[in-house]
Every structure is written in C-alpha cells, then in structure tokens.
C-alpha cells in the first residue's frame, strides 16, 4: 500500500503503534534512551512533512524505519565524527545465521555496548537481531548492499559476544553538589505536593515537554502541568541517573515502587528553564540505564 493512500489519521495511528520499536532502534543507535527519543521526534516530523508533500512509498513501515535510520545518522554526525568506515569484504556467501541465541544476546545488550560497534554493525544487529527484520528488509532501511549488511551483522554479533564476556568496569555516575542541591529541593517540594513553591522555582520563559503528549511554553501554561500531578497518587519522586545523566525518577508506590518514568530538569541559576517529563513514554524507561543515587 502506498503511503499516499493513507490519510493523516491512518499515518498518525501507525506512528503511535510503531513508536516503541522506532525508539528501540534509535536509542541503541545513539547509545541513549533520551537521545533516542530526540531522534524519534525528528523522524516523526520528517515523516509528517513527507506525507504533507505527497510522498508515496510501497511499504509504509519500512519507509518509516528508513526515515528513523537517516535521522539517527544525522544525529550522530552532529554529535561526533563517524567512526572509520568499515572495509567492505565480499560476504555474499555468508549464511544468515540469525538464531535465538544471537537475538537474546542483542536484546539484552546495554545501550553502552552497542556504542562499541561501528555504525554499520550497530544498525545491522539492531534491525536483524533486536527488531527481527530480514536481511533484505535491513538493506532497504539502511541502503547498504547485501554483502555489506552480512559483513556488518557477522562482525557486530562477534563484538557483542566479546563485550558480554568482558568485565563491566564503568564507574558509577557522580552528581555535582550544586546540581544535587537544586534537584533535591525540587523533589522535596514535589513530594510534599507544595506545588505553589515548585511553581515559584520555574522561570517565566520555561519550556516544558510531556514526552509523547504535549509541549507547554511560559510560566502561565506550564503551571497547569503541576495540577495534573496533584490530582493523582500513583507517583513519588527520587533522585537518580538515566543513561548517566542526572534525573528525577518517577516511582509508582502502588506497584512496588517500580520506575514508571523520569524527568529531566535544566536550570539557569536557581530557576528551572526546561522540564522534560517521560511519564507517558514507557518505552524510554525500558531502554534506559536507570540508577538511583545512593546517599
């Protein structure tokens, strides 16, 4: 079916349904659940723009993954220079040995492990072993040849196996004392439901995003956000890290205090200038490296 035959509602529904899978791909490409959401948002904007421009495609789902793949590449280029291009060997005779063992290994690998692979290896392993695409579908998403895809998959699997057997020597993240002071104040006021005091901390020009739901600009609009938390009791906040980034963890006291989401808070002095709330993006929690701050 051509994407041109989709009305906007059908495309919106497809984007909602595919968003967790798109994020799973993007997060592993970027090595961060947070940056993965940035990539997904960029891909959604590009997909909607292409739809509005009358773009047509034979396979809509594959087309969306292609857009996400390109958005991930653009993101990585902006963040750092690409790693040295892997020399393409003649792998046309290598069989597709995708087995449950490889799939389990790739699915369990941390986002950090994927960052040890080259861009080509990362993409091939994620698409085939994590998301279950065929080799030909992977070629269509990445634009690589079958030989290059087989080579990248073969080498990426071997690298993940080596990383899985190596000791994890990544040090625990640390928090700057000033950042800890500000975040603990924010958390304490929030947990006490003293939302008037919380509102007093936010800047007049605050930008607030409830990921996968809405965006609010300015103190007047953003102030309504806190009322939503005041009306429910399925949350409690704690200080921690998400992908080694300081974060406020949203626990659910009604479900063994499981982490159901997180918030990222940016400051200008002692004023909050940006909030990103991932309460309604559970797929980000599933992919993230989440740690509580130990006192």
Q: What is the CATH number of the domain that holds 95?
A: 1.10.10.10
Whether residues 181 and 288 share a domain: the answer is yes
Whether residues 77 and 110 share a domain: the answer is no
Whether residues 125 and 73 share a domain: the answer is no
So what's the pLDDT on residue 1? 45
Residue at which a domain ends, from 58, 82, 106: 82
Whether residues 189 and 268 share a domain: the answer is yes
**Phi, psi values for residue 272, rounded to 5°:** -85, 120
Whether 263 contacts 276, CB under 8 Å:
yes
- Percent helix, percent strand, percent coil in the chain, to nearest 5: 55, 15, 30
Tens digit of each residue's pLDDT (9 = 90 or more) over 137-190: 999 999 999 999 999 999 999 898 888 776 555 666 788 999 999 999 999 999
So what's the pLDDT on residue 186? 98
Whether residues 160 and 219 share a domain: the answer is no
Please count the structural domains in the chain.
3
50 burial level (CB within 10 Å; 0-12, 13-18, 19+) = middle
Q: What angle do CA 121, 125, 129 make, to 5 degrees?
A: 170
Most confident of 43-52, 54-63, 202-211, 278-287: 202-211
Whether residues 91 and 142 share a domain: the answer is yes
Sheet bearing 290-292, strands edge to edge: 214-217, 202-210, 271-277, 258-268, 245-252, 236-242, 290-292
So what's the pLDDT on residue 89? 44
Whether residues 185 and 157 share a domain: the answer is no
Range of the domain at 250: 177-292
Whether residues 204 and 266 share a domain: the answer is yes
Neighbours of 191 (CB within 10 A): 12
Whether residues 138 and 198 share a domain: the answer is no
Instruction: Answer yes or no: is pLDDT of 84 > 80.
Output: no
Residue at which a domain ends, from 82, 104, 134: 82
So what's the pLDDT on residue 166? 67
Residue at which a domain ends, from 120, 143, 169: 169
Tens digit of each residue's pLDDT (9 = 90 or more) over 253-279: 999 999 999 999 999 999 999 999 999
Whether residues 272 and 188 share a domain: the answer is yes
CA dist 73 and 30 (Å) reads: 9
pTM: 0.78
Whether residues 8 and 49 share a domain: the answer is yes
- CATH number of the domain that residue 6 is part of: 1.10.1740.10
- CATH number of the domain that residue 278 is part of: 3.10.450.50
Whether residues 70 and 22 share a domain: the answer is yes
Instruction: Answer yes or no: is pLDDT of 19 > 60.
Output: yes
Instruction: Answer yes or no: is pLDDT of 42 > 70.
Output: yes
Instruction: Answer yes or no: is pLDDT of 10 > 50.
Output: yes
Q: Is 218 left (phi over 0), alpha (psi -120 to 50) or beta?
A: left
């Amino acid at each position: 079916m051509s994407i041109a035959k989709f009305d906007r509602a059908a495309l919106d529904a497809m984007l909602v349904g595919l968003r967790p899978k798109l994020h799973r791909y993007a997060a592993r490409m970027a090595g961060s659940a947070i940056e993965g959401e940035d990539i997904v948002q960029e891909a959604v904007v590009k997909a909607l723009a292409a739809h509005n421009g009358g773009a047509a495609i034979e396979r809509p789902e594959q087309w969306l993954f292609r857009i996400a793949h390109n958005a991930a590449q653009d993101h990585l280029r902006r963040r750092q220079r690409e790693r040295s291009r892997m020399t393409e060997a003649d792998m046309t005779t290598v069989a597709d040995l995708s087995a449950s063992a490889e799939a389990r290994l790739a699915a369990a690998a941390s986002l950090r492990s994927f960052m040890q692979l080259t861009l080509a290896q990362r993409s091939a392993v994620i698409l085939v072993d994590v998301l279950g695409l065929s080799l030909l579908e992977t070629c269509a998403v990445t634009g690589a040849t079958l030989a290059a895809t087989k080579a990248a998959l073969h080498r990426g699997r071997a690298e993940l196996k080596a990383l899985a057997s190596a000791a994890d020597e990544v040090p625990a993240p640390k928090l700057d004392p000033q950042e800890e002071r500000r975040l603990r104040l924010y958390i304490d006021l929030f947990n006490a439901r003293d939302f008037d005091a919380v509102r007093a901390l936010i800047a007049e020009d605050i930008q607030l995003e409830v990921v996968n739901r809405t965006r609010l600009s300015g103190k007047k609009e953003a102030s309504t956000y806190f009322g939503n938390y005041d009306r429910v009791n399925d949350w409690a906040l704690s200080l921690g890290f998400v992908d080694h980034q300081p974060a406020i963890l949203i626990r659910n006291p009604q479900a063994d205090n499981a982490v159901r989401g997180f918030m990222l808070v940016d400051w200008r002095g002692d004023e909050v200038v940006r909030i990103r709330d991932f309460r309604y993006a559970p797929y980000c929690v599933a992919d993230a490296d989440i740690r509580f701050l130990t006192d």
